[in-house]
């Protein structure tokens, strides 16, 4: 799933093109993709977006008259594309907007189950929809992070991914961040020393900034991730092989040498815990 660096890179790329022209035609939209019916999509027609905005992993586009907000959640397989006038459009995108002059913003989802969503809301309803999100991960200071970590005793990998606690981090960047901070994915949030909290805050900011810089240049997953999905490959810090462990419904990647004092973490799949 795209996380803060990926979504922010898209936001920056989309900001100017989506606000260049008013919307000529809103839709069509796949029935599973468009989650709202009131206000109707055609209400967008003739209005202009003021740009692209982001909160956590969510992208949104507000009209410059302050009346409407189009909220987008890409989930795992959703992708947004901006097509110049005349550029070939995929046959049946999940969602499409055409601007005056012929450019288009389209959402495609290459998956059997449509999970990506588009909501057309009033700005107040959009705000409510995003209200549950914690503070933005990028720019989070050690004091604010410390407060969040002390609030609940949770395993770090799961807690960092909880959008209500911190917005923008998913499983890929949780792997990268914890590795850079040299902290165990299973460490309890309330057990961290002040020095470890500081290290974690630093790693959150440096890793997300590194990811954003790479994604803005169009870097692939292979060129971006150093730990995520790198089972058996040498750790870029110590050269030992990267390990993996199943935790709840996710697979975590980590370096035992750097993060767990050489210990191999035990499988904690939900299915196993429930058995
Ligand atoms: Zn290592």
Of 97, 77, 110, 121, give the one whose Cα is nearest residue 18. 97
**Cα(254)–Cα(131) distance, integer angstroms:** 32
Distance 115 CA to ligand 1 centre (A): 36
Distance 183 CA to ligand 1 centre (A): 11
Whether the pLDDT of residue 266 is over 70: the answer is yes
Are the beta carbons of 97 and 24 closer than 8 angstroms?
no
Distance 156 CA to ligand 1 centre (A): 18
Whether the pLDDT of residue 187 is over 70: the answer is yes
Distance 152 CA to ligand 1 centre (A): 28
Distance 205 CA to ligand 1 centre (A): 20
Distance 246 CA to ligand 1 centre (A): 19
Instruction: Give the pLDDT confidence score for residue 274 in this predicted structure.
Output: 56
CB atoms within 10 A of CB 62: 20
Question: In the numeric block, which tokens belong to residue 152?
Answer: 């609940």
Whether the pLDDT of residue 275 is over 60: the answer is no
Please tell me the pTM assigned to this model.
0.93
Instruction: Give the pLDDT confidence score for residue 101 in this predicted structure.
Output: 96
**Cα(21)–Cα(217) distance, integer angstroms:** 26
The separation between CA 161 and the C-alpha centre of its own chain, rounded to angstroms, equals 10
- pLDDT tens for 140-168 read 999 999 999 999 999 999 999 999 999 99
Confidence class for position 267, pLDDT limits 50, 70, 90: confident
Whether the pLDDT of residue 245 is over 70: the answer is yes
Distance 241 CA to ligand 1 centre (A): 7
Distance 117 CA to ligand 1 centre (A): 38
CB atoms within 10 A of CB 12: 14
What percent of the chain lies above the pLDDT cut of 70? 98
**Length of the chain in residues, anyone?**
275
Distance 247 CA to ligand 1 centre (A): 20
Helix (H) or strand (E) holding 269: strand 268-269
Helix (H) or strand (E) holding 194: helix 194-216
Distance 180 CA to ligand 1 centre (A): 9
Confidence class for position 249, pLDDT limits 50, 70, 90: confident
Distance 252 CA to ligand 1 centre (A): 15
Confidence class for position 270, pLDDT limits 50, 70, 90: low
Distance 140 CA to ligand 1 centre (A): 25
Whether the pLDDT of residue 215 is over 90: the answer is yes
Distance 257 CA to ligand 1 centre (A): 5
CB atoms within 10 A of CB 247: 20
Distance 194 CA to ligand 1 centre (A): 23
Whether the pLDDT of residue 273 is over 60: the answer is no
**Cα(192)–Cα(86) distance, integer angstroms:** 55
- pLDDT tens for 74-109 read 888 889 999 999 999 888 899 999 999 999 999 999
Question: In the numeric block, which tokens belong to residue 230?
Answer: 């790198």
**Upper half-sphere CA count for residue 159 (Cβ side, 13 Å):** 22
Distance 229 CA to ligand 1 centre (A): 14
Phi then psi for residue 10, to 5 deg, are -65, -45
Distances (CA, A) of 184 to 138, 153, 260, 269: 21, 14, 5, 17
267: left (phi over 0), alpha (psi -120 to 50) or beta: beta
**Cα(143)–Cα(231) distance, integer angstroms:** 34
3-class state of residue 87 by DSSP:
coil
Distance 256 CA to ligand 1 centre (A): 7
**Cα(198)–Cα(261) distance, integer angstroms:** 20
- pLDDT tens for 27-73 read 999 999 999 999 999 999 999 999 999 999 999 999 999 999 999 99
Mean pLDDT of the chain: 95
Distance 234 CA to ligand 1 centre (A): 8
Distance 237 CA to ligand 1 centre (A): 5
- Give residue for tokens 């057990």: 191
Instruction: Give the pLDDT confidence score for residue 272 in this predicted structure.
Output: 59
Distance 47 CA to ligand 1 centre (A): 52
Whether the pLDDT of residue 259 is over 90: the answer is yes
Could you tell me which residues are beta bridge partners of residue 58? 55
């Amino acid at each position: 799933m795209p996380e803060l660096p990926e979504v922010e890179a898209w936001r920056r790329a989309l900001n100017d093109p989506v606000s260049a022209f008013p919307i000529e035609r809103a839709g069509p939209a796949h029935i599973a993709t468009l989650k709202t019916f009131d206000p109707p999509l055609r209400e967008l027609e003739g209005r202009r977006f003021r740009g692209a905005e982001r909160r956590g992993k969510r992208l949104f586009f507000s009209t410059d008259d302050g009346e409407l907000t189009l909220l987008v959640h890409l989930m795992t397989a959703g992708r947004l594309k901006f097509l110049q006038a005349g550029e070939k459009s995929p046959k049946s995108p999940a969602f499409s907007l055409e601007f005056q002059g012929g450019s288009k913003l389209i959402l495609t989802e290459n998956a059997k189950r449509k999970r990506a969503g588009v909501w057309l809301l009033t700005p107040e309803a959009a705000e409510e929809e995003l209200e549950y999100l914690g503070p933005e991960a990028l720019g989070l200071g050690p004091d604010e992070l410390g407060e969040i970590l002390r609030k609940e005793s949770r395993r770090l990998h799961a807690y960092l991914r909880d959008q209500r606690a911190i917005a923008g981090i998913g499983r890929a960047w949780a792997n990268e961040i914890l590795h850079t901070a040299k902290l165990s994915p299973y460490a309890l949030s309330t057990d961290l020393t002040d020095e470890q909290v500081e290290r974690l805050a630093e790693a959150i900011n440096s890793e997300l900034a590194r990811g954003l810089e790479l994604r803005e240049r169009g870097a692939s997953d292979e060129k971006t991730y150093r730990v995520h999905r790198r089972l058996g490959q040498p750790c870029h810090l110590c050269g030992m092989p990267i390990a993996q462990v199943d935790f709840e419904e996710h697979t975590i990647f980590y370096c035992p040498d750097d993060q767990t004092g050489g210990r191999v973490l035990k499988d904690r799949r939900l299915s196993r815990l429930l058995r």
